């Protein structure tokens, strides 16, 4: 089964990349999604916020890509934060795999952006 994940990326004023992912991530598209997300973060960015509000399904392939992306960005001295508001369809999956032990989780994109912005001064 081939599924679709719609990925929209923007940047905030501090250069943090915001990636909004809607649809589904599974074994049929996880590699493509991972490549798109990795390519969306320039070396000059402090990091990326993944907005998973509209993600309707994720299997182990998708979960693995989030862990790998976090490690990859960490190796580039960048950070990854995940916006996962109450009521998000995939929230329980990320609670089960304890994503918050590896990546910061926030209730909104704005909160996640704050976690990644460079400190003033």
Domain 6-116 fold is: Transcription Regulator spoIIAA (3.30.750)
Mean of per-residue pLDDT scores for the chain: 92
pLDDT digits (tens, 9 = 90+) for 15-28: 999 999 999 999 99
Q: Domain ranges for the chain, please list them.
A: 6-116
Q: How far apart are CA 105 and CA 39, in angstroms?
A: 22
Helix H or strand E segment including 97: none
Instruction: Residue count of the chain, please give it.
Output: 121
Which residues, listed in sequence order, are joined to residue 50 by a DSSP beta bridge? 19, 82
pLDDT digits (tens, 9 = 90+) for 89-112: 899 999 999 988 999 999 999 999
Q: What's the mean pLDDT in 29-57? A: 96
Q: Which of these, 36, 3, 2, lies nearest to 19 by C-alpha position? A: 36
Residue 3 pLDDT > 90: no
Percentage, residues of the chain above pLDDT 70: 94
How many Cβ atoms from other residues are within 10 Å of residue 91's Cβ?
A: 17
pLDDT confidence tier of residue 1, bands split at 50, 70 and 90: very low
Residue 70 pLDDT > 50: yes
Burial (CB count within 10 angstroms: exposed 0-12, middle 13-18, buried 19+), residue 17: buried
Residue 118 pLDDT > 70: no
């Amino acid at each position: 089964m081939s599924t679709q994940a719609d990925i929209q990326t923007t940047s905030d004023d501090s250069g943090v990349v915001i990636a909004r992912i809607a649809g589904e991530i599974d074994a049929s598209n996880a590699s493509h999604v991972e490549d798109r997300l990795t390519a969306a973060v320039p070396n000059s960015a402090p990091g990326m916020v993944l907005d998973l509000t509209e993600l309707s399904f994720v299997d182990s392939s998708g979960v693995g890509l989030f862990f790998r992306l976090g490690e990859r960005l960490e190796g580039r001295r960048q950070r990854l934060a995940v916006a996962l508001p109450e009521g998000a369809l995939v929230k329980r999956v990320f609670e089960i795999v304890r994503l918050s032990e590896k990546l910061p989780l926030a209730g909104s994109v704005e909160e996640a952006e704050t976690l990644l912005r460079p400190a003033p001064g």
